[in-house]
């Protein structure tokens, strides 16, 4: 059997977006080893540990092994001279800036003979932990990496009031100083990454910023509603039927649109996020569950008295 080394790097989402390639290689009868090189969160390795598609999972090169091909994701620092492979595939930097990880992984799979029209579904592993949740619990992730406020939608606490059962996940650095409604179960900073994945898997829907946990939810086949500001859903979101990107990118200033894909310096970077109201997000969720699932679930019933009003403005 041929052998392949897949080198992943950077954020949780960056790694999850490459798992369809791992599955494609497995289907092509490759023995697949995966190395995580300079990941943002070392715990990311646990999301892949035990996956049947992976022969060996490591955070450093395995001495003595040689591969037929090595595929290197963007941001990995490993040099070609250090890769013991007959062929090395890297997606060109300028094309990656335009297309992103999803297309890069697909192009590599095609180059290695994967001919299916659609790429395999992404995957992540979870812990065996069980959570006593109501049937229609909604999972919210209100954060992202520290300092990445250009990805943070500011109305998650308002959105939480619409639902009867809500859990909030993330790390301590994700936490936004808001006053969650009293019925919200807040797990921020209390769970491992694989426990967080197990909790997300137990929910009927996930709503979060354009961040790694949104990709985890997508890979778990949970109905996922990632909220995008300046970043492009077509580039960042995984092209899956359970992913329903929500954006008001048309509100972005022209100077922001013209900036590179990670436009952290846009002086008006929050306009497209602040102008997207909780009610618009709610209606998007309603449409998915009503039209695509065939019925409105109980969890999409507002958790407030009839006639109650929620204050929401784009200037808050």
Q: Where are the alpha helices (DSSP H) in 28-126?
A: 93-111
pLDDT value at residue 172: 81
pLDDT value at residue 272: 77
How far is Cα of residue 290 from the mean position of the Cα atoms in its chain? Answer: 24
What stretch(es) of the chain map to CATH 3.40.50.2000?
138-300
Dihedral of alpha carbons 244, 250, 154, 312, sign: negative
pLDDT value at residue 245: 95
pLDDT value at residue 278: 93
CATH topology assigned to domain 3-111 = Rossmann fold (3.40.50)
pLDDT value at residue 302: 47
Model pTM above 0.85 = yes
Alpha-carbon distance 282 to 65, whole Å?
51
* Cα-based distances in Å from 308 to 80, 181, 313: 61, 14, 16
What CATH number should be reported for the domain whose range is 138-300? 3.40.50.2000
Are the C-beta atoms of 212 and 13 separated by less than 8 Å? yes
Are the C-beta atoms of 270 and 251 separated by less than 8 Å? no
Burial class (CB in 10 A: 0-12, 13-18, 19+), 89: middle
In degrees and rounded to multiples of 5, residue 195 shows phi and psi of -70, -40
Average pLDDT of each block of 10 consecutive residues along the chain (316 residues)? Answer: 97 96 98 95 96 97 94 93 96 92 97 96 98 93 78 90 93 76 94 98 95 96 92 89 86 58 57 86 88 49 42 38
pLDDT value at residue 307: 35
pLDDT value at residue 148: 73
pLDDT value at residue 309: 41
Alpha-carbon distance 85 to 248, whole Å?
44
């Amino acid at each position: 059997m041929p052998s392949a080394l897949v080198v992943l790097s950077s954020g949780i989402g960056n790694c999850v977006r490459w798992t369809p390639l791992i599955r494609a290689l497995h289907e092509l009868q490759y023995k697949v080893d995966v190395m995580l090189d300079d990941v943002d969160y070392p715990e990311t390795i646990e999301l892949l540990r035990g996956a049947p598609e992976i022969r060996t999972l490591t955070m450093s090169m395995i001495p003595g092994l040689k591969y037929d091909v090595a595929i290197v994701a963007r941001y990995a620092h490993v040099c070609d001279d250090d890769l013991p492979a007959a062929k090395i595939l890297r997606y060109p930097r300028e094309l990656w800036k335009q297309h992103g990880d999803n297309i890069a992984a697909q192009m590599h799979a095609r180059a290695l003979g994967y001919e299916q029209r659609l790429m395999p579904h992404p995957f992540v592993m979870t812990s065996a932990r069980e959570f006593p949740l109501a049937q229609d619990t909604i999972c919210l992730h209100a954060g992202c990496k520290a300092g990445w406020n250009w990805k943070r939608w500011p109305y998650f606490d308002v959105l939480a009031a619409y639902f009867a059962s809500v859990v909030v996940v993330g790390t301590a650095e994700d936490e936004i100083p808001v006053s969650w409604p009293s019925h919200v179960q807040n797990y921020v900073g209390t769970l491992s990454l694989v426990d967080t994945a197990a909790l997300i898997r137990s929910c009927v829907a996930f709503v979060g910023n354009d961040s790694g946990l949104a990709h985890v939810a997508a890979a778990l086949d949970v109905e996922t509603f990632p909220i995008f500001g300046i970043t492009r859903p077509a580039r960042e979101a995984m092209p899956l039927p359970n992913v329903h990107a929500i954006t008001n990118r048309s509100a972005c200033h022209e100077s922001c649109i013209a900036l590179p894909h990670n436009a952290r310096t846009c002086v008006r970077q929050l306009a497209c996020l602040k102008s997207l109201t909780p009610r618009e997000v709610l209606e998007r969720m309603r449409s998915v569950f009503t039209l695509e699932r065939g019925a409105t679930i109980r969890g999409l019933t507002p958790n407030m008295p009839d006639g109650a009003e929620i204050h929401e403005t784009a200037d808050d």
